[in-house]
Amino acid sequence: MPIIEVDQLHKRYGSTVAVQDVSFSVEEGEIFGILGRNGAGKTTTVECLAGLRAPDGGRVRVAGHDPLTDTAPVRRIVGVQLQDAALPDKLRAGEAVDLYASFYDEPADPRAVLGALGLADKADTRFKDLSGGQRQRLSIALALVGRPRVAILDELTTGLDPHARRETWALVRQIREMGVTVVLVTHVMEEAERLCDRVAVIHDGRVAALDTPAGLIATATDGGPRASLEDAFVALTAPADADGARPWPFPFPVAR
């Protein structure tokens, strides 16, 4: 049985439909990518998956549990790093991990988690004094300290420089090697192509395609040697009448 099952998930905010009939499953041990443009419904989908939002319709199961009615077991199973999560400026990295560890009956050793993520020497550093990459690694530490079976990582490398981004990719691979299933929400196509076993492309609240990165490239592009997941993504999510060019003339004068 897949560790995650999402069937006909539906969520709306007032008159706006954020997620409409989204369905997919995730096998244990996968790195599963959820791709989409800004506002496509990616974050709403994983918030429903983690039990942080109540869906308006459909069925969600994590290791057989309903995230809304089986709150305690799902919280033991799932670790979450969300894009907009932030900590108080004065909170020290070690204090944050200790706090999150206190939420679980059998957490990992907080100092061991910090050490594994290269933050052992930052335990006494305030959140406001951490670099962008160090903050992201701390977010991963908070998601892992409860020893989850599933880690949901939302826009993990947004704003990171190329070196920090690649270091973070290596951490994601290490998380999978620990036996943790990873749900990776991203709009960085290179990231998904390098890391994910399979990806679901969400467009306008629906799953537009679901396959391996190589499978999407083969079916959504000409399959040439230089075709990329970005090419496939653009082909799958572009408006039907878009050709990538802005109409001329521009609706404002050009400076001279």
> How much is the pLDDT for 245?
52
Tens of pLDDT, residues 179-218: 999 999 998 899 999 999 999 999 989 999 999 999 999 9
pLDDT tens column, 235-250: 998 765 555 554 445 5
Does domain 4-87+148-237 sit in CATH 3.40.50.300? Answer: yes
The per-residue pLDDT for 171 is 87
**16, 66 contact by CB (below 8 A):** no
Tell me the pLDDT of the chain (256 aa) as tens digits: 899 999 999 999 999 999 999 999 999 999 999 999 888 899 899 999 999 999 999 999 999 999 999 999 999 999 998 766 678 999 999 999 999 999 998 899 999 999 988 899 999 999 999 998 898 889 889 999 999 999 999 888 877 788 888 888 998 998 899 899 999 999 889 999 999 999 999 998 999 999 999 999 999 887 777 899 999 999 998 765 555 554 445 565 655 5
Q: Tell me which H or E stretch contains 237.
A: helix 229-237
pLDDT of residue 24: 97
Given this model, what pLDDT does residue 114 score?
93
3-class SS shares of the chain: helix, strand, coil, % to 5: 35, 25, 40
| pLDDT score for 239 | 64
pLDDT for res 85: 65
How far apart (Å, rounded) are the C-alpha atoms in residues 248 and 255?
16
Domain boundaries, given as residue ranges, for the chain: 4-87+148-237
CA distance 62 to 3: 6
* Predicted local distance difference test score (pLDDT) of residue 142: 92
Residues 6+ apart with CB under 8 A from 205: 17, 18, 19, 20, 22, 40, 41
Q: What's the confidence (pLDDT) of residue 158?
A: 78
- Bond preceding residue 73 cis, omega within 30 of 0: no
